[in-house]
Amino acid sequence: MYFDVDITPEEKDEMIMKIAQKIHEYELDVAAVLMIESFKPLSYIGSQMGRFFVSPFLPAFGDNIWMDGEKFLQIFEKKENVDKLIKAIEQLTQEEEEQKKVEKVKDLAEKRAEIETEGASNKKGWRQFLPF
């Protein structure tokens, strides 16, 4: 087995971001954060159980998957890396929400400009007093 695999900080950060992006891609942000927070105290035990139960089957899928699986288990047996994953998921969610807000403001500005260009002349009766 590859228990002596050295993981560089770049590889660690890359794997954490890759997992966070995949979670965000499937829109499982809230559910994933809830589950990860719930199982964070058991991260070391879960990692050891993964080594015992899952690692023997990984070579059947190829040497690359075996190495990635071992790196995954080594990274997430530490609680600070679990916290980094949660922060990465929350950061991606926050960035998407900010982007949606910007788009919403832009759409509202376009609608207002469109309404102003039409003017009140097209509106008849009581509708001329409405802002939309």
Residue with tokens 């965000």: 24
Q: With a threshold of 0.75, does the pTM exceed it?
A: yes
Mean pLDDT of 100-114: 91
When pLDDT is cut at 50, 70 and 90, the band that residue 115 belongs to is confident
Contact indicator for 20, 92 with CB cutoff of 8 Å: yes
Q: pLDDT digit string (tens) for 1-42? A: 556 778 999 999 999 999 999 999 999 999 999 999 999 999
The CA dihedral of 101, 106, 112, 116, to the nearest 10 degrees, is: 170
Mean pLDDT of 75-100: 96
Mean pLDDT of the chain: 89
Domain boundaries, the chain: 9-91
